[in-house]
Structure 1
Amino acid sequence: MKLWNRASGNLKDRNSIWMASISRRSPNRNPDLEAAIIRATSHDVTYVDYRNAQRVFAWVKTSPAYLKPLIWALSKRMEKTRSWVVALKGLMLMHGVFCCKIPVMEKIGRLPFDLSNFSDGHSHLCKTWGFNSFIRSYFAFLDQRAFWLGTDTKEDEEQTQKTNESMLQELIKLQQWQTLLDMLLQIKPEAAQTNVGLILEAMDCIIIEIFDIYSRICNGVARILVKIYAAGKVEANMALKVLRKATAQGDRLSLYFELCKNLGVRNASKFSKVEKIPQEDIRELEQIINGVLEDKATVVRQNGSIEEGKGTKEGPLKTVIGKMWERFDEQLRGNKEGTGAPDGGKMTVAQNPSTATCNSRPHAYQS
């Protein structure tokens, strides 16, 4: 049965490539690009065509004119397929496109195809329900990521720090990052799937994405807390909720990485233990934030005028922030710099299709 499925998948891919080759070139169709997408999302579960995925990335980085043909071809393939292998490769390819720092990608909004109810049609449900669940969770994350974040670039983050963005806006963005992290933690394979190399390679993508988003959350929380004494009551309450959720997510991350290590996900072993926020630090920060709220409600008379009281004890707060996040940030940078060359032909984190931003992170698909 496996041999028949493989032969059938190869025949379908060849027919699709042939149909693409005879199609008429137009603003919405590019035969060469379509053929590269088909090869990069083939039915072969044992092989990922990195060369053709690289070609796809190179096209979309060359000109925005290639975006429409890319979306048309990939959407058509995703909507027609009933193979979990093709669907997963398509999601990994789309993830890589989003990470290429192409400004025009911000205009996409949500993903141009829908895999929220995907179900493999080539095997019994009892054998494929785990793959179906994995693909649905991966799709849900990418769809929300596309809707909220557009192009995921460090330059955007640095620009945000330079602008006079309100604390409320920063807190809303932090809540969005935390929601995305929750969605990422829903993407996990079953033990029976760990003998499938494609699933483990996809998980390598997810691990790096988790650390990238978690680092943004940590850095964002640190920036917010430094400015907490200038916050209003609404912002201070939101900051407290964000902090408590960051603590809970740190605990979930530790369990998630332990699970991934046990399942054989290599990148889960490349990073050190997740740096948790000590409970005593959480209590101290809660007292500081509650103190800020009390100070805001205090009316102080000075020089015959009424002024709002302001906290001035920034020293302890900065000390607590440093203890919680500086070590994690250094660890993250060190591990990212250490991800590098291919390992004997097997795809490593540096080669993973949906992990690397084409310009900011090392990647086998990088042109």
Structure 2
Amino acid sequence: MVMMTIRKAIGAVKDQKSTRIAKVASNKAPELEVAIVKATSHDDDPVSEKYIQEILNLTSYLRGYVYAYVAAVSKRLGKTCDWIVALKALMLILHLLNDGDPLFLEEILYATRRGTRLFSLSDFRDETHSSYWDHFAFVRTYAMYLD
């Protein structure tokens, strides 16, 4: 029980740090990166519809925001070692492919041609949670499905 509380606290600190970095260091769309970090937080709650709508609104105006979205989600997936964050990021991609502008699919295809490893999670590992094997195996399979 204590380990679970410590893990949640560490996840919250990581999310706060990522949010602050996105606000300061983002060149293209800091508000978009902040929304992505908040949508793919370390907590066990599902992706909030509020952040999905915010991301949809931000990316519906400019193609550059769609590019920034794909880059930010790719970076988030590439850095995380938490299956919850990875699964939320993949679920967010699926939401935006279904409900967003058709430019999302186009930009994802262009990004993979440029070398972005958006769905390539073959080396993804999360050994911090109990029964981690099932979790990261599911995340890998879900990424292959989306690909």
Judged with a 3 Å threshold, the aligned counterparts in structure 2 of structure 1 residues 56 and 98 are, in CA distance, closer, same or farther, namely same
Give the Å deviation of 1:69. Answer: 1.0
Task: Give the alignment of 1:113-128 within 5 angstroms.
Answer: 113=118, 114-123=120-129, 127-128=131-132
Matches of 2:96 and 2:41, distance apart in 1: 17
Q: Deviations 1:31-53 (Å, cap 9, x if unpaired)? A: 11000000000000135322112
Give the Å deviation of 1:106. Answer: 3.7
Matches of 1:88 and 1:5, distance apart in 2: 17
Unmatched tracts of structure 2, length 5 or more: none
The residue number in structure 2 matching 1:130 is 134
Judged with a 3 Å threshold, the aligned counterparts in structure 2 of structure 1 residues 97 and 139 are, in CA distance, closer, same or farther, namely same
The residue number in structure 1 matching 2:7 is 5
Q: RMSD of the TM alignment (CA)?
A: 1.8
Structure 1 position 52 matched with structure 2 position 58: no
Structure 1 position 18 matched with structure 2 position 20: yes
Q: Is the 8 A contact 1:34 1:70 kept in 2?
A: yes
Judged with a 3 Å threshold, the aligned counterparts in structure 2 of structure 1 residues 50 and 75 are, in CA distance, closer, same or farther, namely same
Matches of 2:144 and 2:133, distance apart in 1: 16
Q: After the TM superposition, which segments of 4 or more aligned residues of structure 1 sit over 4 Å from their partners? A: none
Give the Å deviation of 1:112. Answer: 4.3
Is the partner of 1:22 in helix, strand or coil?
A: helix
Matches of 1:48 and 1:95, distance apart in 2: 12
Give TM-score scaled by structure 2 length.
0.85
Give the Å deviation of 1:54. Answer: 1.4
Unmatched tracts of structure 1, length 5 or more: 144-367
Matches of 2:62 and 2:128, distance apart in 1: 37
Q: Which amino acid aligns with 1:115?
A: L
Q: How many residues align?
A: 138
Matches of 1:75 and 1:17, distance apart in 2: 16
Q: Is the 8 A contact 1:17 1:38 kept in 2?
A: yes
Q: Which amino acid aligns with 1:2?
A: M
Bigger Rg over Cα: 1
Q: Deviations 1:302-340 (Å, cap 9, x if unpaired)? A: xxxxxxxxxxxxxxxxxxxxxxxxxxxxxxxxxxxxxxx
Give TM-score scaled by structure 1 length.
0.36
Q: Is the 8 A contact 1:60 1:66 kept in 2?
A: yes
Is the partner of 1:115 in helix, strand or coil?
A: coil
